[in-house]
Amino acid sequence: MESKRETLMRKPAPAYGKLKDGEWKKVLTFAEEYKSFLNAGKTERECVAEALRQAERHGVPAYTRHNKAVMLIRRGKRPLSDGLRIVAAHIDSPRIDLKPYPLYEKEGFALLKTHYYGGIKKYHWLAHPLELRGVVILRDGTVVTIAPGTDEPVLFISDVLPHLGKDQEKKTVIEAFPGDNLNVTAGSIPDTEEKEGDDRVKLAVLSLLHQKYGMTEHDFQSAELCLVPAGSARDAGLDGSMIGGYGHDDRSCSYAAMRALFDCDPEYTAVCVLADKEEIGSEGITGMQSAFFDAAAEELCAAEQTTLRTCYANSFCFSGDVANAYDPNFADISDPQNNARMGHGPCVMKATGRGGKSGSSDASAETVGKTRRLLDGAGVCWHMGEMGKVDQGGGGTVAKFLAMRNIETVDIGVPVLNMHAPMEVVAKIDCWETYKAFLALYNDR
Ligand code: MN
Ligand code: MN
């Protein structure tokens, strides 16, 4: 018999005590596979390429747009008029993009001008190994992919030495690190063929790029090149319980969603949406606001003489996005009773947004009720949270863009430390429990 206390009181508990026999081994295997995904996908394009590889292996059809957003679909037994079971996550992560005319030379250095993408604390990205990734569309339309190997040289943004940091330290963070100062050091050897003249270091960098990729300075105009943290994801903590790496936001949910889609036995048609552009408002042709996603779903509906409206109205969606894990080092930004906790499984967020839930879709109690039944029914360790103290700030996800399509949607995702920093950290057990949560949705009966 449960005691009165056990019956009436509920407090989130760590997931470690709730695993079944032999489940820890699965947690660790899943973590290794997730790290491989992180290492394969450091840009949204690379994530799409990896998702397509894995989808093909599992015989799962995929719809893509500009190789930057992808929708994986597994047909269920029920008609589409009964709705979809959707997990929508995003595969873009904060990073530092190049400007259209990036390259210049100053005082013997070749430098690249940048414009950061997404919300970053700029000083995180200084004095940190970076690598250049992306695509260049050459004049004749040829697509050149830039994806350096692990043994290639890294790039970096320089910072002031502490010895001479007197003025820098007095400034506010915003004043000390203006966006236009985030110039990447790209070279320091003058061209060897030209013995004199200006910009010989710049020329040397251009001839290197020409040799390697067949590109000229003009080709930067039709390129999508960005700086992302160099190096691989690796275990974190002396106990190796966590993963430190770039892009957990939101590749941790993206990977969990994709894996759950491959592993599920769907009654309703299961859809995994991996969207781009979340970090800049889900805008654009590959963002969650794009009609691309509707066009793909509509095509399926048309084949069954069902309208997209009917299908959406009966659908249910998890907006899979990371939550900020409670950080004991910065306890004052959070309400400890209502914050995501690392090691406690995925965090369900009824509302996101900022300042009075502004910009949030604020899921209905019924939607959270169904979520609760699904997760408890599948033995998932989960909890609920809000993003920090009420007036501290906030954030958004793709949830509202699904909700406005008349799809019942709630936010749920992996708690993460150091969100948007070059090294974000998640707990392995949370990645696993999030996978179980997404699987529970896809297996909805
Ligand atoms: Mn996110
Ligand atoms: Mn984010």
Ion ligand 1, residue ranges at CB < 5 A: 249-250, 321
Query: Beta-strand (E) ranges in 202-260?
Result: 223-229, 234-236, 242-245
Could you say which ligand is closest to the alpha carbon of residue 398? 1
- The pLDDT value recorded for residue 154 is 97
Cα(91) to ligand 2 centroid in Å equals 10
The CA 239 to ligand 1 mean position distance, Å, reads 27
**Ligand 2 midpoint to CA 63 (Å):** 24
* pLDDT value of position 11: 84
pTM value > 0.95:
yes
pLDDT above 90 (res 1): no
pLDDT in tens, 288-319: 999 999 999 999 999 999 999 999 999 999 99
State the distance from the centre of ligand 1 to the C-alpha of 319, rounded, in angstroms. 10
**What is the three-class DSSP state of 214?**
coil
Strand boundaries in 26-183, DSSP class E? 62-65, 69-74, 84-90, 95-106, 109-117, 130-137, 143-146, 156-157
434 C-alpha to ligand 2 centroid (Å): 17
Q: What pLDDT is recorded for position 195?
A: 86
Give the pLDDT band (50/70/90) at residue 78. very high
Ligand 1 center to residue 395 CA distance, Å? 9
> Could you list which residues have their CB under 5 Å from ion ligand 2?
249
- Gap from CA of 148 to ligand 2 centroid (Å): 25
Going edge to edge, which strands form the sheet with 323-324? Answer: 234-236, 242-245, 424-427, 415-417, 323-324
How far apart are the CA of 214 and the centre of ligand 2, in A?
34
